[in-house]
């Protein structure tokens, strides 16, 4: 008597599970088709970043590039490729080398032009944060941190961002 009850119960459970899977696949296909129609109906890609100062940023960037040597331009202008984007890191230079020219390799006029591009592109709040990060990196460099196996440079996170504080305890091991 138990076999007669268990077999129909298993069949019902299996049918219910299969029905739920089919319903899920069907609704996923409908969603995909709806999304595909929406994409093909759009003729232009949306503007991701529309800023009032775009022309100013472009002009400043072109002025900066005009100040660079041929070698510096080659180093600065890289192609936008997925493999290059995938290499980007915010780890210290000792771990992951940066692309582009270094500020230390620029003269004063070139640095001023580069900072103008950054200020225009980032806005005042972003440019302030950029300056804080640069200052923290400088302090880490002075403390000998940043490279593989190097000493752990002191730092302190505060409301303004990550800023180096001499004598502050380092990060936990």
For 93-115, what is each residue's pLDDT tens digit?
Answer: 667 777 788 888 999 999 999 99
- Residue 67: inside a domain: yes
- Domain extent, residue 114, equals 54-163
Q: pLDDT tens digits, residue range 1-58?
A: 455 555 555 544 454 444 444 444 445 455 445 555 554 455 555 455 666 788 999 9
pLDDT-based confidence at residue 70 (cuts at 50, 70, 90): very high
Instruction: Give domain status of residue 40, yes or no.
Output: no
Please tell me which residue, 153 or 134, carries the higher pLDDT value.
134
Domain assignment of residue 82, yes or no: yes
Helix (H) or strand (E) holding 156: strand 156-158
Q: Give the C-alpha separation, 31 to 22, whole Å.
A: 14
Q: Is the pLDDT of residue 129 over 70?
A: yes
For 103-125, b/e burial (b = at least 16 CB within 10 A) is: eeebeeebeebbbbbbbbbeeee
Whether residue 116 is contained in a domain is answered as: yes
Q: Please report whether residue 31 resides in a domain.
A: no
Give the span between the Cα atoms of 110 and 116, in whole angstroms.
10
Q: What is the helix (H) or strand (E) element at residue 152, kind and residue range?
A: none
Give domain status of residue 75, yes or no: yes
Answer with the residue of higher pLDDT: 112 or 137.
112
Does 88 fall in a domain? yes
Say if 129 falls within a structural domain.
yes
Q: What pLDDT was estimated at residue 59? A: 94
pLDDT average, residue stretch 134-163: 55
pTM: 0.53
Measured CA to CA in angstroms, residue 83 lies from 48, 72, 79, 91, 139 at distances of 22, 22, 10, 17, 31
Structure confidence at residue 50 (pLDDT): 62
**Domain count within the chain:** 1
pLDDT at residue 127 is higher than 80: yes
Closest CA relative to residue 90, chosen from 170, 169, 164, 162: 162
Distance CA 166, CA 146 (A): 15
**pLDDT above 90: residue 77:** no
Q: Has residue 142 got a pLDDT over 70? A: yes
């Amino acid at each position: 008597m138990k076999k007669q009850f268990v077999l129909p119960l298993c069949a019902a459970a299996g049918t219910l599970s299969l029905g739920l899977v089919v319903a899920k696949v069907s609704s996923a296909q409908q969603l995909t088709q709806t999304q595909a129609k929406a994409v093909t109906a759009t003729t232009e890609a949306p503007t991701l970043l529309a800023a009032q100062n775009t022309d100013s940023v472009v002009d400043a960037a072109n002025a900066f590039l005009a100040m660079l040597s041929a070698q510096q331009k080659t180093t600065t202008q890289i192609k936008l490729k997925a493999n290059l984007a995938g290499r980007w890191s915010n780890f210290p230079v000792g771990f992951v080398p940066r692309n582009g020219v270094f500020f230390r390799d620029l003269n004063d006029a070139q640095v001023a032009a580069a900072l103008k591009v950054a200020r225009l592109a980032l806005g005042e709040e972003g440019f302030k944060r950029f300056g804080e990060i640069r200052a923290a990196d400088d302090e880490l460099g002075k403390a000998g941190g940043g490279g593989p196996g190097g000493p752990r440079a002191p730092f302190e996170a505060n409301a303004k961002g990550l800023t180096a504080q001499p004598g502050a305890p380092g990060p936990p091991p």
